[in-house]
Amino acid sequence: MKIGLTAGADPKARAAALLDARAAALAGRAAGAEQAVETTAYLVCACGAERYGLPLAAVAGVTPERPCTGLPGAPPALRGITAVAGVIVSVLDLAACLGLDRDGDESGHVVHLRAQEPPIALAVDRVLGIARIEPGLARSVNEPESLGRGPLSGYAPPGSDRTGDIREGFSLIDVPTLLARHTT
């Protein structure tokens, strides 16, 4: 039915035609809209020239790095302990956990992990942002000895971040495997 623009058009027919036209326009917009895509969020951090993604679900928060109290006889990856909101937290150096050299600059960030007992945080050079990756785009690691022998579970290639904020590729960290190697 055409919408009559003349004064003699029936008002009820005109109103019905307007409603039909609006409904068709709204239906057309929904049909052309982009489908929602399932993504997994990662907190992307820098350790030297390398980029690593921690599952955002495992992260409780990020703070600027503060001096830690070293512990005698501690493994090299354990930077020390510090107090956060009245709780003693063990701080692991992510670069050392992954076998990387750190430049000695202790002015980076500390990533506090969720639901760890005792509480654990990871020291990184810098937190770069949050990336959202489609599960199918992240290349998984099938061989246990590849990509750092265990704590790395895959790789997000450059350009795979749906937000567009993280342009570089980054390795995906399996937090339970990483912690199992350095907290037992």
Query: What HEC string does 78-98 produce?
Result: EEEEEEECCEEEEEEEHHHHC
- pTM of the complete model: 0.73
Give the model's pLDDT for residue 126: 93
Cβ(131)–Cβ(42) under 8 Å? yes
Are residues 96 and 6 part of one domain? no
- Within 8 A by CB and 6+ apart from 64, the residues are 107, 109, 110
Structure tokens at 158: 């450059």
CA distance to 43, 55, 85, 169, 172, per residue, from 137 (Å): 17, 15, 38, 11, 12
Going by C-alpha positions, the residue among 109, 22, 75 that lies closest to residue 181 is 75
Structure tokens at 91: 């701080």
pLDDT in tens, 85-107: 888 999 999 999 888 876 555 67
Look up the domain containing 25 and give its range. Answer: 1-33
**Could you write out the DSSP letters of every residue in 150-184?**
SSEEEEE-TT-BTTSS--S-EEEE-HHHHHHHH--
Q: What is the pLDDT along the chain (184 residues), one digit of tens a residue?
A: 455 555 456 888 888 888 888 888 777 765 555 667 788 899 999 998 899 999 999 999 999 988 889 999 888 889 999 988 888 999 999 999 888 876 555 679 999 999 778 899 999 999 999 999 887 766 665 555 444 457 888 888 888 888 888 889 999 999 998 888 776 6
Are residues 122 and 78 part of one domain? yes
- Within 8 A by CB and 6+ apart from 180, the residues are none
pLDDT in tens, 124-147: 999 999 999 887 766 665 555 444
Are residues 123 and 174 part of one domain? yes
Are residues 44 and 8 part of one domain? no
Are residues 145 and 115 part of one domain? yes
Give the model's pLDDT for residue 8: 56
**CA 73 and chain centroid, separation:** 34
Are residues 72 and 3 part of one domain? no
